[in-house]
């Protein structure tokens, strides 16, 4: 019996990116599917979040995500440019957010086709693996999308024609994310139980095995 998991994911979250290799390994090794559901990052979902957070929060995330990447041997560098337009001195988040809106809507478009995990994996590597500077320029995203079997220009055109359709998908994802009992990303949800963080995948597998999860082949 194939078991299904929802994965709530943000393109700005280093831990979301770092969860992808283990997520792909999960579906390769086990009879399971992962429904990746993109959401906006806290900087957009919760206005003023960073101004209210302890100032050590962001510094710790930089330190910890970098060492997780080294430990897990995952190519890693914070995206250039940041998917969120934010003054990292004042922590002010700009009202206009062209990068994260485009990325998240693209993820929603891939979700509509039932192939958001493979799309997000290839796009996220362009942002996070350190091989690309100015990921938002040139054909970096287009080539990544093509490698995942998508036509980026067609996706952008569809989103431009009806952006509210994709915003509704994202809003539904965020509602389901909140209903799961957690607010952070990445959050895996299995049978209404949330597992927050890339370091909870083994625990997720343990829970799924108790519900009959089996290995492939």
SS3 35: strand
> Is 180 tagged catalytic?
no
- Among left, alpha and beta (phi > 0; psi -120 to 50; other), residue 4 is beta
What token pair was written down for 115? 């192939």
Residue 131 CA to residue 129 CA, distance in Å, equals 6
Torsional sign, CA 166, 108, 40, 83: negative
What's the full length of the chain, in residues?
217
Q: Label the pairing between strands 32-38 and 187-190.
A: unpaired
Which position among 4, 10, 13, 180 bears the catalytic label? Answer: 13
Residue 56 CA to residue 37 CA, distance in Å, equals 29
Q: Report the catalytic residues.
A: 13
């Amino acid at each position: 019996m194939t078991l299904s998991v929802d994965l709530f994911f943000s393109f700005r979250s280093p831990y979301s990116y770092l969860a992808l290799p283990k997520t792909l390994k999960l579906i390769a090794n086990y009879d399971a599917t992962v429904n990746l559901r993109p959401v906006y990052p806290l900087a957009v979902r919760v206005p003023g979040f960073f101004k209210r957070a302890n100032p050590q929060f962001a510094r710790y995330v930089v330190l910890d995500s970098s060492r997780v990447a080294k430990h897990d041997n995952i190519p890693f560098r914070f995206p250039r440019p940041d998917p969120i337009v934010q003054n990292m001195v004042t922590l002010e988040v700009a009202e206009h957010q062209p990068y994260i809106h485009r990325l998240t809507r693209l993820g929603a478009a891939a979700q509509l086709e039932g192939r958001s995990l493979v799309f997000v994996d290839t796009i996220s590597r362009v942002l996070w693996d350190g091989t690309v500077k100015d990921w938002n320029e040139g054909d970096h995203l287009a080539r990544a999308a093509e490698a995942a079997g998508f036509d980026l220009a067609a996706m952008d055109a569809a989103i431009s024609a009806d952006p509210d359709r994709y915003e509704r998908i994202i809003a539904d994802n965020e509602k389901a994310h909140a209903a799961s009992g957690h607010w952070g990303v990445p959050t895996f949800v299995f049978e209404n139980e949330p597992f927050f963080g890339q370091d909870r995948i083994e625990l997720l597998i343990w829970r799924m095995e108790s519900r009959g999860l089996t290995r492939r082949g």
